[in-house]
Every structure is written in C-alpha cells, then in structure tokens.
A and B are shown apart, each in its own frame.
Chain A
C-alpha cells in the first residue's frame, strides 16, 4: 500500500491550497475514505483534515434562529446535542439511521453529505474487481449497472442529503469563491464526480432553516442497521405558505437525490385524502428509475419507493392534523 500523508491545515485558505496537491482528498471522519483505501478504491496520496479549521467543529445558532453545524462535527455529537434534536427531529431520524453507533462516533456531518457514491459492481474487494474490465468510476469506459449510460450511475448513499434537501438546508462551500448553496446544488448527477464543487472547494458547514417544515423520513435496506440505503425517502410540508410547500425527495436510487415534482404539485393544494396520497406515491414511483447497482432488485426498490412515500406522506398528514393546520 502506498504511503498517505495527512495534512491538518489551520485555516480555510490552507485547506484550499492543500487540495491543490496531487491526489489530495478531504479527510473527515474517515469511515468511508479509509475502507476505500483498504480496498484500493481510492488512491489519494494526501489526506487533508478539516477539523482544525475554526468553525468546522462548532454548532451555533445565528440571530435569525438558523442553526449552523460545522462539517467536522460528528453524527454522535449531533445526536447528543441538547438543542438540535428538539428543533430538527427529521434530521435526527436520518442521523440515527446512519450505519452503526461506532461509525456514528467517527463519521461527520460534512462526510455524510459528501460521501462517495457506491455501486455493487465497484464497491468490492480488489480480487473481486480484478475479474471485471474497469468501469467509468475505475477509470474505464463502461457502466455495468447501466450499459447504455455515458456516465457513472453509482448511488448517492447519504442519508442526510434527502432530509436536508426536504428541509431546505444550505451548505457553505469554502474555497476561492466561498458561498452558500442549496443542498440540491451540491450534487452533479455523475456518479464518478458526484459533487459540483470546483477544484479547491470543500463543504465547511451546513445551515438549517429557523423554522423547519414538518416531515418524515424512511430508509429501506436489507437489514435494520449497518447497511447503506437501497431507497431513502424524505417528505416535508410547510403549511404556512400558500400554496403549501411540499418536498418529496427520493435518494439512493442514482447519483443525485430526485425530487418527485409531479407528486409535489398534486399535494400543494387541495385536501390530502388517502386517494390523493396514493396518487402522489404513484407519481413518485413513476419519477424514479433505480439502476441495477444496489444489493436489492430494481423492481423491489421501485415498489419500495411507492410504499415509503405513501407511508411518509401519511405520517406527515397526521402531523399536520395534530398541528391543527389544514391538509
């Protein structure tokens, strides 16, 4: 195994400079990068830690009531935070669904958002992969999951991404042009280079809305723990707006979370009867086409989209009724 250097810059500018080194990677919790090195999936030779940069380990609330969470804050710290759980129960649900307690102790907020995409044909030990001609993500010219595709279709497996998208959260991008972007703008749609970040850019923090919408999260995976998602669904509704703002986000079905816009439009106005909820779930299912690169079959995952969206919508509808709003 080749040698890997570990740099710990102390400022955001130094991180950006370090990312200019050949084979540089951001090292967050390392729960994905380290095993990827072990399986020779990632051959980066310089790891750039971000935990020493001021603000990346902080959780704070701004004057407008929006919570900002540094990218290097661990998932266990988020779950144990005395305030975050009360304000953002939906996000907490997604955090609890990530991996295992040991991994949540190390894994970070930024790492979970930027975690590398996965594919059944690539995330395998080197000896398994040695029998295959390399795919796009391995430097080759083909995709085993979608042979007609010109792009890698490896899945985004971040559990927090769909939830934060449904909540309307933003990410702080550090780099030469520091800025806040909507979570949806973080993902490119190409499984090989799945983030839209330019060279030298990195995620410094996330910002959550002061008044989060009501929502529900569902994760479908072979086992109730440990596994990466086969389908993630996050649903949110803000009834204070007119028409109400509905977000239905389906993730782990491709390199980018998918908004089921047709289903959202249906539920923006009118009553949320059981028939209309079922129709919205139908529309969400029609909007999603999982690739054959998970552990479970495409057909089952597509059916799961329907079931999970319907289930999540029913939970949100009950929550809305409890809150006394009209739905």
Chain B
C-alpha cells in the first residue's frame, strides 16, 4: 500500500496527512502545506536549501520521506522564531535571524532558510563553536552570493553570545 495517513507535528502544529509515504517532505511542505520558506534548490541533496529539523536535527527535506517523519516533529524556517519564543518566552526572532541581517549574510536569500536551520542547530548544541565547527556544520549548504564569510560571521556571533549570554 503506497498511501497512508501520516501524523506529524510541523512547527508545533499537528497534521494528519494522507499521501504516499515515499513522497519527499519537501513537496509536502511546499506544495501541500504552503510552507515555501523551505526552498527547492536542487532536489537531490546537493545544495542544502531545503534543510529542516526533524526531531531537532537538520535533515534535507528533498531526501526525507513523508513516511519517515510519522509521529515526529518537523521544524521549518517558518517555525524557527516560534521555537525560540516558546523556549525563551519572549517575542523576538531567533538571534541567528537577526544576526544574518546585521552581518549582511543575506543577498538573494535562497540559501538562507537552510543556512539558518543548520546554523541554529549548531549554536543550540555547541555554544561557543569555533569557525571550523561553523564551516563544518554549513558544509552542505551552497550560497552563490555572499562568499560565505558573512554567514559564518553571523553564526559565530550568535555562538559566542550563546556561550556567554551576559
């Protein structure tokens, strides 16, 4: 049986989705749920623009099957600020989103959702991460505009702040 009812929590909201279990999460998010923040760059795992969190870990939505996220939690770039607000009880964007703006890390913006999800996971898991760790965590993400420097700088800024919140 190719089709099934898949229950998944996306950005804090529970969805019951009827569909092919082997459909990729990318098309489910973009075409069925209208969450177009997750970008469709290459469709084959080469560019990183479609990175989302599955149970908190960055994964590529173009390689993730709908059936594999059953009863799990998915966070897309649209839910990043919400996740941060729930965690901190404030009304702000995720600091990495602000840091991207402050550091000029966004030009065309196509890679930004993927970079944000990978970067935010890193600063959450490894506060005080080194430049090498940041580059490693962003290794699967292509950017054709910025030359990466500003992006790395933005993540480093937040990583340093997370380590020493004062």
| Chain A residues engaging chain B, CB cutoff 8 angstroms | 3-6, 30-31, 34-35, 38-39, 47, 99-103, 105-106, 224-226
Task: Enumerate chain A residues within 8 angstroms of B131, measured Cβ to Cβ.
Answer: none
Of B62-70, B74-82, B96-104, the one contacting chain A is B62-70
Task: State the CA gap A106–B63 with chains docked (Å).
Answer: 9
Decide if B63 touches A103 in the complex (CB within 8 Å): yes
Decide if B140 touches A226 in the complex (CB within 8 Å): yes
Interface presence of B48 (CB below 8 A) = yes
Given contacts A99-B140, A225-B140, A226-B140, contact A4 B2 (CB under 8 A): yes
Contact of B62 among A5, A34, A105, A225 (CB under 8 A): A34
Task: State the CA gap A224–B136 with chains docked (Å).
Answer: 10
Decide if B59 touches A105 in the complex (CB within 8 Å): yes
CB distance from B131 to the nearest CB of A (A): 14
Task: Enumerate chain A residues within 8 angstroms of B51, measured Cβ to Cβ.
Answer: 102
Decide if B1 touches A5 in the complex (CB within 8 Å): yes
Given contacts A3-B20, A225-B139, contact A103 B45 (CB under 8 A): yes
Decide if B65 touches A105 in the complex (CB within 8 Å): no
Closest to A5 in B: B2
Task: Enumerate chain A residues within 8 angstroms of B43, measured Cβ to Cβ.
Answer: 35, 38
Task: State the CA gap A4–B63 with chains docked (Å).
Answer: 15
Query: Count of A-B contacts with CB under 8 A?
Result: 72
Task: Give the number of residues in B that approach A within 8 Å (Cβ atoms).
Answer: 27
Closest to A76 in B: B57
Task: State the CA gap A97–B62 with chains docked (Å).
Answer: 21
Decide if A100 touches B1 in the complex (CB within 8 Å): no
Interface presence of B120 (CB below 8 A) = no
Sample of 30 A–B contacts (CB below 8 Å): A3-B20, A4-B20, A5-B2, A6-B21, A6-B22, A30-B63, A30-B64, A30-B65, A34-B62, A34-B65, A35-B43, A35-B44, A35-B62, A35-B63, A38-B24, A99-B140, A100-B48, A101-B58, A101-B137, A102-B51, A102-B58, A102-B59, A102-B118, A102-B140, A103-B45, A103-B63, A103-B140, A105-B59, A225-B136, A225-B139
Task: State the CA gap A103–B140 with chains docked (Å).
Answer: 8
Task: Enumerate chain B residues within 8 angstroms of A105, measured Cβ to Cβ.
Answer: 57-59
Decide if B62 touches A4 in the complex (CB within 8 Å): no
